Amino acid sequence: MKSIPLYPEGRPCPSPTTDRILGAFDRVAAHHLEREGEEVQRFAPELTEQQLELRRLAGVPEESYGA
């Protein structure tokens, strides 16, 4: 059985709960720079390899994640 290291100290987690999966994204943030109510620049979140793998396993397309 494949596992992903979501437990403390990077221990394997073969059956992660929703809380564990979402917790892996708790510090992810996108930022938008606005001037006079208009978006000037968007800073997409940079995901770790683990977050990228979780996104892939969940079937979330790359282009829809940062939208």
All residues at 6 or more sequence positions from 54 whose CB lies less than 8 Å from its CB, including other chains: 4, 21, 24, 25
pLDDT at res. 54:
93
pLDDT at res. 67:
55
pLDDT at res. 8:
87
pLDDT < 70 stretches in the chain: 1, 65-67
**Main-chain dihedrals φ then ψ at residue 59, nearest 5 degrees:** 80, 25
pLDDT at res. 3:
86
